[in-house]
Each structure stands twice: as C-alpha cells, then as structure tokens.
Amino acid sequence: MAAKKSTPKKATQFDYDAVKTTNRRRKPTERLRAEHVILPDSKRKKLLSTVQDQIRNASTAAWMVRRHLDYVSKFKLQFRTGNEQLDDLVNRIFKWHAQPRNFDVAERFGREEMFRMFELEKVASGDAAMIKTNELKLQAIESDLIAYPSGGTLPKEISNDVDRDTGVVMDPAKPGRIAQFCICNRGKEGIAVNFDHLEEAENVIFDAYYTRFSSQVRGVSPLSTAINSIQDVYEGVDFNLAKAKVHALFGIALMRDYAGGSTDQEEVYEWGGASGITQGLTESADGAPTSDAGTKQIESSLQEMKPNEMLMVDMDTKGRIDTIESKTPSAEFKDFTEFVIRLSMLALDIPYSSFNSATSSFSSMIADQNMYEVSCKWKREKNQWKRHEYSDWLLSSIWNDESSEWPLRQVAQAAGINRLRELQSLVEWVPAGFPWLQKLQEVQGDIKAISVGLDNPIDACKRRGGDFFINIQKTADAYNYAESLGVPLMIGEPGQASIAAVESEGNNAP
C-alpha cells in the first residue's frame, strides 16, 4: 500500500498585522518625524482656532473643559513647621499674594483663577506660559503668542535662532531644553502677531500636554482627538432643530381623492370650488376646451386658526385631514449622539456618569470616580510642579529682598531654618479633592480603614481637600468657646456618653 503523500505546511511568517496594507482599512502611515514637523505652525493655528471655536459655541465642549478644570486645577496651600510665628507669616504672604492686584500684571485674575485659566489654555491650545516679573506678578501668555512673528520686524541677530514652527530658541548645550521663548503681541487691533521680546526660559512658568518622549517641543491639545466629533454633534443637533421647525410650520395636511375626472376641467368641477392648480387644457370663452396647453387655477382661502375658537373646514366627501407628526430627532439619532458624546469625553478621561447619571447606580458612580481619580493624578502632578515653581519663586524673591516688608528670612532663621531650599520644601499644594457622594457611607469606610491601620486621618482629610491640623484647631476653638459660655458640646452619636462621663462613673463606683 502506497504511503499517502502529505501536503507541505506553509512556513510561519512572523509579522505585525498593523503594518500590512489591505483593502479592508486605510494604508498604514509611514511618517516618523518630530511633532512640530507633522503639526507645523500653519496647521497648529487651525487646530487651536477650531478647538477654541468649539469651546466658545458648543456646550458639550465647554462643559467637558469646565469639568476637567474642576478636578485638575484646584489646590490648597498647606504649610506647617510647628513654629506658630513662621507658619502664620508664610500663610499670610501667600494669602496676600493671591489677590488679583498682587498676582496678575493686568490685575484681573487672582491666583486660583489664574492657574485655572492656565490649565484651560493648556487644554484648549496644548500649552501655556506665565512670565515672572520684577514686581512679583505674573503675566499670562497665550499659546499662539509664543511664535515666530508674522508681522512687524524681527531683529537680525535673532531671526535665525527662533524656530519658525515652534517659536522658541533651543539650548544647543542641552538637547531638548528651551533656552528662550519668542514672545509676541497682538497689537492694538488684536489681529497681528508681532514680535515683542525674547524671554529667558528661567523666567517663564511653561507647561504643555506632550504626546512624544523627547522630540516634541510644543504641546498638543488633548481635545484634538475629539474635536471633529464634538463639532459633528453640535452641527447635527442644529440641523435636527431646523428640521423640527420646518415640520412645525406645516402642521396640517388636507387630503383629497380626484381619481374620477378624465380631464383637467372635469377634475376642477369635481373639486366643488376648492382651491387647486391644473396644468394642460384650458377652455375658451364659450366653455369649449382649447388645444393650447395652459394653467387653470381655482382660488379659495383657508379659515384663520384661533386657539380660543372652533375651527370649521368645509371639504368634499372624499377629503380628510391628517396632522404631520415630526419624528425629529429620531431615536436612532439620539442614541448615536449619546455614543459620540461618550467617545468625545474619553479625550479628557471623564466618565459618562458625570454627564448622565440616570442609568448609573451609586456603586458604579463610586467606581467611575475612583477610576477618574487615577486618570487625574498625573494631570494634577503636572500642575503641582508648576505651583511649586511659583511658590519657590515667590519665597525666593522675598527671602533675598532686604527691603521687603515681609521679614521672612529673619523669622525662618529664628525658627531654625537657615536655608531657603529647606523653607521651600515645606510648602505643600494639596488637590482640592472630590466631593462627597454619600457622606455617611464614605465616612464610615474611612473610619474602618483608619481603625485597622489602612489609612490615617491626615491623608483622609487631604483626599477631600482639607487640613487635619486646621480641623483639630477649629474643633478646639469651638470647645473652648462653648465651655466659656457654659454650653455642653459633644461630638458623637445621639445618646452616647462621653469618655469623661464613663470614667467618672467608674471612679465613683463602690
């Protein structure tokens, strides 16, 4: 018996399907370049303009950005050394400097609003800057004002150093580091981007949203992945509203059946005087039809519709009235719009339960909040570093200014802090934290975690944007004030006895 001939197996090919060109999907891209080459200045301006336009007009985009800012840009200052005089002085310095007239060159924004706008500019445009001035104030610089000037004159000695796509001067000694920023202004009309000056990088608080590891100089808006979808939703809703308005204008349809007439004029006779238009034969003066084609129009008027009066419509026996029902927007459109909004919110990692919590249970909202907390952490850290850069600059300026009204160096040295760096490291910027969803259950969870050593009161307070030490101090103040007025004050469940009362009762027992 002859042996069965085996079919040779095809050799295994080790490859990535993502690099294969097929008819089922778009051809893989082959552009591996620096980000400013893929997104040069001309295209970058289009992206910035489109994103800002959608934030300006589309409620979805504006809400997404505001929600992002609420969780990412809010911080509280905490400074504690144990020395009451030093702690009080530093906190008073930052409280004083937080006022608009002391913080902003334009005297419009206080510290918290300025840093919120700083994050807003980063989200909308990819990056933003604030210049430190000699007056201990910050000057806001929008992203597109860091650019190679399109108008005015540029000094010859720097025209070759400023990159045309990024608007910065790179440091040749440190690859990837920005040495100077080319700062522009919009002129009196607010249109042109004219050269203003070159600013040293150490005088600028600059931050950006990066998508590349080392070759990216300027940031790219995280909304770039969703802005087309947001614009489609905005236009789709607008078009459907226009369609619904057209339907509303034609609310009643008059239906008639004119199948009996053989000629146009016979049809007219069967109408019984109702209005209509016929095309074809016309009749002469004696009533005989003529051969030339023409138009016959019968006129009548509809009764005016008044809400407080009965409407009477005189129709022939074959007529009927139907109301035009508008199916706009359709259920399919609403479902698809909801799906597109979900995809758009992914650009900022915002959970959909924040937009519509009607279908979410409490446990799922807690899970969404925890996941959002994780996604927000690195964005908050970016802003924390910029807050530290700001606080380091403020303390350094006051520390080294012998004519300053704030005796910072003297008070710090009296408290045993002789180095500026040591003082700066004690400043802590704590995120504002998440609001309570169900306070009772969440507090009970914190109590149990603290009781078994999985948490502590200080960190539990920080997660909510509070300060444990301030809470304890205020509680002591409340107790002392109540005691001075002879008012019993007790924290605990209703009906619970205080520890002092229990101990006193035990000591008096026989």
Task: List the chain domain ranges.
Answer: 252-282+291-302+311-323
262-266, 296-300, 339-343, 418-422, range with the lowest pLDDT:
296-300
Kindly indicate the confidence band of residue 325, based on its pLDDT and cuts at 50, 70 and 90.
low
Mean pLDDT across 468-481 = 86
Q: Which of 169, 134, 145 is nearest to 403 (CA)?
A: 134
Alpha helical stretches, state H, 98-162: 100-103, 111-125, 156-159
pLDDT of residue 368: 86
pLDDT of residue 29: 78
CA atoms of 446 and 178, how far apart (whole Å): 45
Could you tell me the sign of the dihedral formed by the alpha carbons of 176, 181, 182, 185, in that order? positive
The DSSP code sequence of 207-260 is EE---SSSS--S---GGGGTHHHHHHHHHHHHHHHHHHHHHHH--EEEE----S
Mean pLDDT across 388-399 = 97
Kindly indicate the confidence band of residue 370, based on its pLDDT and cuts at 50, 70 and 90.
confident
On whether the CB atoms of residues 329 and 244 are closer than 8 A, the answer is yes
Alpha helical stretches, state H, 438-498: 439-451, 457-463, 468-484
Kindly indicate the confidence band of residue 301, based on its pLDDT and cuts at 50, 70 and 90.
very low
More confident residue, 325 or 36: 36
Name 302's Cβ contacts closer than 8 Å, sequence gap at least 6: 313
Kindly indicate the confidence band of residue 295, based on its pLDDT and cuts at 50, 70 and 90.
very low
pLDDT of residue 306: 62
Mean pLDDT (the chain) is 82
Please determine, for residue 510, whether its predicted confidence score (pLDDT) is greater than 60.
Answer: no
Tally: H helices and E strands in the chain: 17, 12
CA atoms of 148 and 217, how far apart (whole Å): 14
How distant is the alpha carbon of residue 407 from its chain centre? 41
Name 222's Cβ contacts closer than 8 Å, sequence gap at least 6: 123, 209, 347, 348
pLDDT of residue 300: 43
Task: Quote the crossing angle between the two packed helices 111-125 and 59-72, to the nearest 10°.
Answer: 130
Q: How many CA atoms lie within 13 A of 109 on its CB side?
A: 15
More confident residue, 300 or 29: 29
Cβ atoms < 10 Å from Cβ of 410: 10
What are the pLDDT digits (tens) for 9-51?
555 566 777 777 877 777 877 778 888 888 998 899 999 999 9
Length of the chain: 510
Cβ atoms < 10 Å from Cβ of 430: 19
Please determine, for residue 286, whether its predicted confidence score (pLDDT) is greater than 90.
Answer: no
Please determine, for residue 238, whether its predicted confidence score (pLDDT) is greater than 90.
Answer: no
Name 485's Cβ contacts closer than 8 Å, sequence gap at least 6: none
Enter the DSSP assignment of 436: P
Provide the percentage of residues in the chain whose pLDDT is more than 70.
Answer: 76
CA atoms of 98 and 115, how far apart (whole Å): 11
Please determine, for residue 265, whether its predicted confidence score (pLDDT) is greater than 50.
Answer: yes
Kindly indicate the confidence band of residue 261, based on its pLDDT and cuts at 50, 70 and 90.
low
On whether the CB atoms of residues 65 and 221 are closer than 8 A, the answer is no
Phi, psi dihedral angles at 133 (to 5 degrees): -110, 165
Question: Which amino acid belongs to residue 327?
Answer: K
More confident residue, 505 or 461: 461
191-200, 214-223, 470-479, 484-493, range with the lowest pLDDT:
484-493
DSSP 3-state of 290: strand
Mean pLDDT across 283-289 = 54
Question: Which amino acid belongs to residue 71?
Answer: Y
What is each CA distance from 374 to 75, 367, 369, 379, 466, in whole angstroms? 17, 11, 9, 10, 19
Cβ atoms < 10 Å from Cβ of 159: 13
Kindly indicate the confidence band of residue 209, based on its pLDDT and cuts at 50, 70 and 90.
very high
156-160, 311-315, 324-328, 480-484, range with the lowest pLDDT:
311-315
Kindly indicate the confidence band of residue 277, based on its pLDDT and cuts at 50, 70 and 90.
very low
What are the pLDDT digits (tens) for 124-179?
999 999 999 999 999 999 999 999 988 767 777 677 789 999 999 999 999 889 99
Q: Which helix (H) or strand (E) holds 60?
A: helix 59-72
Predicted model pTM: 0.77
81-95, 191-205, 492-506, range with the lowest pLDDT:
492-506
pLDDT of residue 239: 86
On whether the CB atoms of residues 93 and 111 are closer than 8 A, the answer is no
Mean pLDDT across 89-109 = 96
More confident residue, 275 or 508: 508
Cβ atoms < 10 Å from Cβ of 428: 17
Query: Which burial class, exposed, middle or buried, applies to 249 when counting CB atoms under 10 A from its CB (0-12, 13-18, 19+)?
Result: exposed
